[in-house]
C-alpha cells in the first residue's frame, strides 16, 4: 500500500527566537521552491517558538508540531501545555512518548496513551514514539519491548489519519549510531504486524511508521527506501536547513 512519507524535524530544546525563525524561514523557502516534493514536512520547535514558527511558515506547505502535551485541556498543571493550546498556536501534530520524555520524566505507556487521546480530541495528529534501549536490544527483547510499548501507548480510535508511529532505537539517538537497514526493517515490520491486531489491517496498512535514530543525509535514502519505513523523525540534522532538506529530498 502506498503511504506518503513524512519527514518530521524535532528541534528538541534548541533555538532562541531569532534562530528559530531563521531556521523555519529557511526550511519554508526550500518547501516553496519544491511544491511537488514527494513527502509531507513537519517542524517541531520548542513550545515558546511554536507561534513564531507557525507565522514564519504560513502558506509554505510546512506543518508545525509540538514536542509534548498534557492529557488535560486546562487546569492546575504548572509548566504544562495542553493540546488545545498547541492547536490554537498553529500546531497540527504533537510528538508524544519520546524516549527523552520517558527517560527524563518517567513517562509511562499509560501516560502517553492518555496524551495521545487528548491530542486526538483536540484535532492534533499524535506522533507516538516507541523504542528499545541498548540493554534491551542486547538482551534480545527488541521486538517484545516495541510491541508492548505500542499496545500500551495507542489509544482507542487511533487510525492512519490521527496517528503516526515513530520507532526510535534509544541507543541510536544522538549517538551517531544507526540501526542497519535490516534491523530497521525488522522492527518496522513487527510494528506494522502489531498494528494489524490493534487497529485492523486496513488502517495498519495506511499508518505511517517513521524511523527516529540518527537519520542523516548520508543514510536517509537507504532507510526511507525500506518497505515499512515511511519517513523519519529527525533530531540533530533538523537544525540545519541544508541537512534537513537533503533528507526530505530522498523521498520518492
Query: Position of cell 536517509?
Result: 220
Residue 97 contacts residue 153 (beta carbons within 8 Å): yes
List 100, 107, 168, 194, catalytic entry: 168
Q: 47-52, long-range: CB within 8 Å, 24+ apart, which pairs?
A: 47/81, 48/17, 49/11, 49/15, 49/17, 49/20, 49/21, 50/86, 50/89, 50/90, 50/91, 51/89, 51/90, 52/17, 52/20, 52/21, 52/24
Residue 186 bears catalytic tag: no
- The β-bridge partners of 17 are none
Number of Cβ within 10 Å of residue 199's Cβ equals 20
Residue 107 bears catalytic tag: no
Report how far residue 213's alpha carbon sits from residue 131's, in angstroms, rounded to the nearest whole number.
10
List 98, 120, 132, 188, catalytic entry: 98
* Catalytic (active-site) positions: 98, 168
Amino acid at each position: 500500500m502506498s503511504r506518503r512519507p513524512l519527514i518530521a524535524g524535532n528541534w528538541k530544546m534548541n533555538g532562541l527566537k531569532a534562530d528559530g525563525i531563521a531556521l523555519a524561514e529557511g526550511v519554508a523557502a526550500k518547501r516553496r521552491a519544491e511544491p511537488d516534493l514527494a513527502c509531507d514536512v513537519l517542524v517541531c520547535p520548542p513550545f515558546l517558538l511554536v507561534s513564531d514558527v507557525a507565522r514564519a511558515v504560513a502558506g509554505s506547505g510546512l506543518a508545525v508540531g509540538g514536542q509534548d502535551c498534557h492529557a488535560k485541556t486546562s487546569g492546575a498543571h504548572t509548566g504544562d501545555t495542553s493540546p488545545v493550546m498547541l492547536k490554537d498556536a498553529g500546531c497540527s501534530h504533537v510528538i508524544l512518548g519520546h524516549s527523552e520524555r520517558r527517560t527524563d520524566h518517567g513517562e509511562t505507556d499509560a501516560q502517553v496513551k492518555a496524551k495521545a487521546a487528548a491530542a486526538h480530541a483536540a484535532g492534533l495528529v499524535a506522533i507516538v514514539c516507541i523504542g528499545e534501549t541498548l540493554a534491551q536490544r542486547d538482551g534480545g527483547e527488541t521486538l517484545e519491548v516495541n510491541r508492548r510499548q505500542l499496545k500500551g501507548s495507542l489509544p482507542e480510535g487511533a487510525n492512519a489519519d490521527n496517528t503516526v508511529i515513530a520507532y526510535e532505537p534509544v541507543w541510536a539517538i544522538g549517538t551517531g549510531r544507526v540501526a542497519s537497514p535490516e534491523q530497521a526493517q525488522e522492527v518496522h515490520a513487527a510494528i506494522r504486524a502489531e498494528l494489524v491486531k490493534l487497529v485492523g489491517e486496513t488502517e495498519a496498512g495506511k499508518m505511517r511508521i517513521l524511523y527516529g535514530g540518527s537519520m542523516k543525509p548520508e543514510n536517509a535514502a537507504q532507510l526511507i527506501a525500506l518497505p515499512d519505513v515511511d519517513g523519519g523523525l529527525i533530531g540533530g540534522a533538523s537544525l540545519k536547513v541544508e541537512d534537513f532538506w537533503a533528507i526530505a529530498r530522498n523521498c520518492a
